[in-house]
């Protein structure tokens, strides 16, 4: 890979997100487990299934069509997602004894055509759930990820004339003109098209769409020294925003 000084442009190369510099959404997730029913009120669209450990059909989610949720104990739950009968994601959420924080672990192949993405993170409680509900109930803000596998953090850019190509280890890719016109987004069940607009020599804006509807807008800006990239993401589906810093590899 060429050194930054030798790169043909500011974007060419492989980049990796630095988790220690991530700023997570301030808007909390709202969960409820009560009377045998699990609800994710802030999922897009919202989810409500029996928490009996059995597979239940969910609609409107491109990454999975079945979900099984069960309480492992009075402070933790386990979730398994499937698409077309195949397990595509598993996760566990565990609330601390004092109820103020929680941790989560996940294995996710719903958006990958290769090895699954794995990770761990932490959450802080914003509001309590109703009396008598399971400990996971209430609103939670993700504060940090302690680890995510490299395949979920890295991506590569290549500029060729007026075109930008992106590839990732999990199998997503696109090649789009940097004039804002739509191009196919490959390898992602939830993203069907993408447009790229060059905002300046060191800045791009990416707009992701699902069946013609904008689902996220990201702005990528390369630092003056060419070694880091600031990424600001506006999640239109969930009404949240977050930012990351990626380093050139």
pLDDT tens digits along 90-135? 999 999 999 999 999 999 998 777 799 999 999 999 999 999 999 9
Look at residue 8 in the predicted model and tell me its pLDDT: 60
Mean of all residue pLDDT scores within the chain? 95
Give yes or no on whether 13-18+151-248 and 29-148 have one common fold.
Answer: yes
Would you identify the CATH topology of the domain 13-18+151-248? Lipocalin (2.40.128)
Looking at the chain, the whole-number percentage of residues with pLDDT higher than 70 is 96
On the question of pLDDT at 53 being above 70, the answer is yes
Determine the average pLDDT of the residues in 12-40: 97
Look at residue 113 in the predicted model and tell me its pLDDT: 74
Q: Tell me the pairing of strands 13-17 and 154-160.
A: antiparallel
Confidence of residue 9 (pLDDT cuts 50, 70, 90): confident
Joined tokens for residue 142: 């993700």
Determine the average pLDDT of the residues in 202-217: 98
On the question of pLDDT at 5 being above 80, the answer is no
Look at residue 55 in the predicted model and tell me its pLDDT: 98
Look at residue 114 in the predicted model and tell me its pLDDT: 79
Look at residue 7 in the predicted model and tell me its pLDDT: 46
Q: Distance between CA atoms of 247 and 4, rounded to whole angstroms? A: 11
pTM over 0.75? The answer is: yes
Q: Tell me the pairing of strands 86-95 and 76-83.
A: antiparallel
Look at residue 4 in the predicted model and tell me its pLDDT: 43
Domain boundaries, the chain: 13-18+151-248, 29-148
Decide if domain 29-148 falls under CATH 1.10.340. no
Look at residue 10 in the predicted model and tell me its pLDDT: 93
On the question of pLDDT at 2 being above 60, the answer is no
On the question of pLDDT at 3 being above 70, the answer is no
Look at residue 111 in the predicted model and tell me its pLDDT: 78
Count of residues making up the chain: 249
């Amino acid at each position: 890979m060429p050194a930054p000084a030798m790169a043909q442009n500011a974007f060419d190369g492989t980049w990796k997100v630095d988790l220690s510099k991530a700023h997570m959404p301030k808007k909390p997730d709202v969960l409820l487990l009560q009377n045998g029913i699990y609800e994710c009120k802030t999922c897009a669209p919202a989810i409500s299934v029996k928490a009996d450990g059995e597979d239940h059909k969910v609609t409107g989610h491109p990454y999975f069509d079945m979900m099984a949720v069960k309480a492992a104990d009075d402070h933790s739950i386990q979730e398994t997602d499937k698409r077309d009968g195949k397990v595509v994601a598993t996760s566990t959420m565990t609330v601390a004894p004092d109820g103020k924080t929680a941790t989560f672990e996940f294995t996710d192949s719903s958006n990958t055509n290769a090895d699954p993405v794995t990770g761990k993170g932490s959450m802080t409680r914003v509001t309590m759930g109703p009396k008598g509900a399971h400990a996971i109930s209430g609103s939670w803000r993700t504060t940090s990820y302690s680890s995510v596998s490299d395949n979920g953090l890295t991506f590569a850019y290549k500029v060729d004339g007026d075109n930008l190509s992106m590839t990732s280890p999990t199998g997503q890719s696109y090649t789009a003109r940097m004039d804002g016109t739509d191009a196919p987004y490959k390898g992602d069940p939830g993203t069907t098209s993408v447009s790229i607009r060059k905002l300046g020599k060191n800045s791009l804006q990416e707009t992701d769409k699902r069946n013609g509807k904008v689902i996220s807008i990201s702005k990528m800006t390369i630092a003056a020294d060419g070694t880091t990239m600031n990424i600001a993401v506006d999640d239109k589906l969930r009404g949240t925003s977050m930012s990351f810093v990626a380093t050139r590899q």
